[in-house]
Structure 1
Amino acid sequence: MKKININEFIDNQKFNRFHLMLLMCCIFIIIVDGYDMFMLGAILPALMEDWGMDAVTAGRLGSYALFGMMVGAMVFGPLADRFGRKNIIFTCTVIFTVFTFTSGFANGPSSFGFQRFVAGIGLGGVMPNLIALVTEYAPKKLRNTLVAIMFSGHAFGGILASLGALVLLPLFDWRAVVWVTGIPLLVMPILYKVLPESYSYYVKENKKDKLLSILNKINKQNQFSKKDEFFMNGTDNIDTSIKKLFTENRALSTLMFWVAAFVCLLVMYGLSTWLPKIMQSSGYPVGSSLLFLITLNLGAVVGSIFGGKLADRFGSRKILITFFILGFLSLTALSLRPNAVLLYILLFIAGGTTTGTQINTNSYVSQFYPSGIRSTGVGWELGVGRIGGILGPAVGGFLLSSQLPLQLNFLAFAIPCIIGAIAIWLVQEKYSQTIIGITNESFNTGELATTPERNSI
């Protein structure tokens, strides 16, 4: 009989086929999520022309999905901690895929907006659970990097949405760009079979056979048996309530995570929704303005992965503060009307240090909380952050309708980055995860044996 700390076992693994399959499944889902989310920014000029909408109305249209995402993150994050992450991930994926596809049949802003709201519930619910699942199974030395690689698929989905608009809009209309979103439903059965369930859920449900199956897949050379005893991190494995985010001296850090997500998502969704229209109103042709959006999202992909690698080496807190400051500087510089080459460089940096910062903030949050409230912690961080995301398109629409100079449009998105840097600086890492034990007896009784606290970040 062996005594195994599950988290230490996971932490010390090398990247292998199990991690690759997990990563590929999650990347695919998050790419589809990103396409469905950022598609609106790519088709918005055509949509406004087709339905005769002004900028303020279009800005509200962009906020419907974000409001749904707030609801989805807050509801489905805690539900996954209680009922398992795998089923919630696929439920949410089907919701946002179906309702994004059907929004292509809408005949006006009201119908389109309602379907975007419902799709947003799925979009918001899937994110915290994908982050939590990758965090749970990633080796410790690669944790930030793998979460960043996975979540960078969100920005890559935005690139595909822009490319789709460039190709399909001249040939058809905006509906063709929307209808593409129905294709991923064809591969959902395969993904469901391959994607693993959370091991913490198996522990909570006393499903030792399934736990052993997962652990033996992770390392085929070191096989475990039912006689072995297991330990895992987190005293919160039974109580998954939201109040646990504020206990054990986590209250200040939880609030600061919410502030950081609020300002970051305000900038992220404000720019992704309105950048093509802002640049078009400044005299750039539609094709060039879409290229600006592609550049922004390419920067987000590179910044996410590069930031994740830096966070694994130097710590998430330092890198996030640095990225927020770089985001402020790049957006401020964009307000000064740089030449064409510098413009693309600054947009690339802005994408990497805004969307990239949010992605690595999600990874930081997922490692801050114990496994039992991990989806809850990330879900509420993203959920509260969605309020900023909701305001972002509305703020952009107001700025555009006010016909303010280009400088003020970019400065309005630059200043929140400084607030985000201060919020991350106030996070108290010393009050992160604790450790508990799971024995053969506890699998049968459902009771958890606690051991002394340990800072694991």
Structure 2
Amino acid sequence: MSGSSSSSRNSNHISRYKWIALFWIALAELFALSLWFSASAVLPQLEKEWGMDAVAGSWMTTSVQIGFIIGAVVIALSGISDRFDPRHIFAIASVFGAIVNGLFSLSSGTITGLILRFFTGIAIASIYPIAVKLLSTWFPDRREVGIGILIAALTLGSSSPHLMILLIPNVNWKILILMSSLLALLAAAIMTWILPKAPDSAKKTVAVTMNSLQPILQNRPVMLANYGYFGHMWELYAMWTWLPYFLTASFKTFLEGSDLQETSTLFAFLTIGLSGAIGSVVGGWVSEKIGKERLSILALVISSLCSLTIGFTFNAPIGITVSVASIWGIAIIADSAQFSAIVAEFSKLENLGTSLTFQMAIGFAVTIISIYFIPVLVNIVGWKWAFSALSIGPILGIWAMISLIRYERG
């Protein structure tokens, strides 16, 4: 009887506070993840000040991804995300990220900068997956919409440095870096003093070992969702990293000077941030109507077609280029929440944090390769064909989702 009463109280607690919790989790994630591309957004200034070329500049993003992977692996193997209050983990990581990101503004060269970006990635590994776990705890049902809104916050947060540059043109890059750190501190404050405690967050688990990962690796629906996510990630972060440079190079046919920089920055935010936020929310809503797997297949088909065709808009009228880029920005992120939702659906609650962190660790490892190779391909085949290599990822994802549908049909 007491167990039933406790379950009822949990259910009432969730129903009453889950949308409030979603708002605060999403806002905290938006603020904290401004750290992600804070250096990449000011890369043109860094290239001039530090004398970097495009390939060297790509390591400003890649070093974050490497830090994220190492941090995610440590979290997965230690089980930290399933053993402690996720709000505290998120808050501590946000403060740590704010500090190392702030120190980046004091660095005077590439090597020091890359080391600090690496530690920023470690911090983010305890922010993004933890936010997904928090959201999954608050939303035992209708996770698609909730995680979709969370991914929208991630997208807006990741692209917010571009918006800062747009709103404060010609600002010194160090100011933008410090603004990102301030936002991360605000995220920590939200987690520490505002967000209510999740109903099941006090549940303890045993320490995680390599043997503990075996159930995840043997869970076919979880691994099919992971394969889809890996293909999705092959495309996503390479697109987010290099699309602003593609737009700038393409717009040079029509614009120059400050007009070129302001226009390309505006459309980088619109096609990555705003389009991505729309895609995340709409994707979550549509998935409730047609199913997570079918929505993912639809998004993957559209994004793969965009990656194959965007190059043909290079040097085309700005409206054509932006239209294709906006469709790509919507489709490329619309399926992201679904892979996390599928893992949450088929994983046990006691190792949900580990399952999500494992998925993200491997997914971000994949991004290192694609981020690195885009500028290499640009030097070999030009912008017309460079992005077409990203279509490999969605093709893998389509196969994984079709296989998952067949599995669920028995």
TM-score range, shorter chain: 0.7 to 0.9
Match of 2:192 in 1: 192
Residues 331, 346 of structure 1: 8 Å contact kept: no
Q: Secondary structure at the match of 1:4?
A: helix
- Matched AA of 1:293: A
1:245–1:369 Cα change, 3 Å: farther
Instruction: Choose which of 369, 373, 387 in structure 1 pairs with 2:351.
Output: 373
Match of 2:72 in 1: 73
Residues 224, 404 of structure 2: 8 Å contact kept: yes
Match of 1:408 in 2: 385
Match of 1:336 in 2: 312
Q: CA deviation at 1:52?
A: 1.2
Q: Hey, what's the Cα distance between the residues in 2 that align with 1:299 and 1:248?
A: 33
Q: CA deviation at 1:306?
A: 0.7
Q: Hey, what's the Cα distance between the residues in 1 that align with 2:291 and 2:311?
A: 31
- Matched AA of 1:409: A
Match of 1:364 in 2: 342
Match of 2:53 in 1: 54
Match of 1:272 in 2: 240
Q: CA deviation at 1:12?
A: 8.4
Instruction: Choose which of 231, 235, 238 in structure 2 pairs with 1:263.
Output: 231
Q: Hey, what's the Cα distance between the residues in 1 that align with 2:226 and 2:275?
A: 24
Alignment of 1:286-435 (within 5 A): 286-294=261-269, 295-337=271-313, 339-400=317-378, 402-427=379-404
Q: CA deviation at 1:31?
A: 0.8
| 377-386 or 32-41: bigger deviation | 32-41
1:130–1:192 Cα change, 3 Å: same
1:354–1:404 Cα change, 3 Å: same
Task: For residues 361-420 of structure 1, give each alpha carbon's deviation from its aligned partner in whole angstroms, at most 9, with x where no partner exists.
Answer: 2232222211111110110100000112222321123223x1523221221222321112
- Matched AA of 1:164: M
Q: Hey, what's the Cα distance between the residues in 2 that align with 1:430 and 1:238?
A: 30
Match of 1:222 in 2: none
Using structure 1 for the length normalisation, give the TM-score.
Answer: 0.79
Residues 102, 181 of structure 2: 8 Å contact kept: yes
Alignment of 1:3-402 (within 5 A): 3-4=3-4, 16=16, 18-77=17-76, 78-138=79-139, 140=141, 142-170=142-170, 172-184=171-183, 185-186=185-186, 188-204=188-204, 240-241=208-209, 243-247=211-215, 250-284=218-252, 285-294=260-269, 295-337=271-313, 339-400=317-378, 402=379
Q: CA deviation at 1:244?
A: 4.4
- Matched AA of 1:56: V
1:324–1:397 Cα change, 3 Å: same
Residues 293, 402 of structure 2: 8 Å contact kept: yes
Task: For residues 253-298 of structure 1, give each alpha carbon's deviation from its aligned partner in whole angstroms, at most 9, with x where no partner exists.
Answer: 4443333333322322112222222232334322232233212221
Match of 2:256 in 1: none
Q: CA deviation at 1:249?
A: 8.2
Task: For residues 184-237 of structure 1, give each alpha carbon's deviation from its aligned partner in whole angstroms, at most 9, with x where no partner exists.
Answer: 325634531232444444243xxxxxxxxxxxxxxxxxxxxxxxxxxxxxxxx6
Residues 87, 191 of structure 2: 8 Å contact kept: no
1:405–1:89 Cα change, 3 Å: same
Q: CA deviation at 1:300?
A: 1.0
Q: Hey, what's the Cα distance between the residues in 1 that align with 2:57 and 2:89?
A: 31
Q: Hey, what's the Cα distance between the residues in 2 that align with 1:386 and 1:94?
A: 22
- Matched AA of 1:349: I
| Aligned residue pair count | 396
1:261–1:249 Cα change, 3 Å: closer
Task: For residues 149-182 of structure 1, give each alpha carbon's deviation from its aligned partner in whole angstroms, at most 9, with x where no partner exists.
Answer: 1221111113421111223341x32111111023
Q: Hey, what's the Cα distance between the residues in 2 that align with 1:53 and 1:166?
A: 23
Q: Hey, what's the Cα distance between the residues in 1 that align with 2:366 and 2:187?
A: 33
1:160–1:328 Cα change, 3 Å: same
Higher CA-based Rg: 1
Q: Hey, what's the Cα distance between the residues in 2 that align with 1:420 and 1:9?
A: 40
Q: Hey, what's the Cα distance between the residues in 2 that align with 1:192 and 1:84?
A: 11
Using structure 2 for the length normalisation, give the TM-score.
Answer: 0.87
Q: Hey, what's the Cα distance between the residues in 1 that align with 2:189 and 2:158?
A: 24
Q: Hey, what's the Cα distance between the residues in 2 that align with 1:411 and 1:394?
A: 15
- Matched AA of 2:307: L
Q: Hey, what's the Cα distance between the residues in 1 that align with 2:217 and 2:71?
A: 27
Greater fraction of residues in helix: 2
Q: Hey, what's the Cα distance between the residues in 1 that align with 2:99 and 2:159?
A: 21
Q: Secondary structure at the match of 1:107?
A: coil
Q: Hey, what's the Cα distance between the residues in 1 that align with 2:130 and 2:290?
A: 26
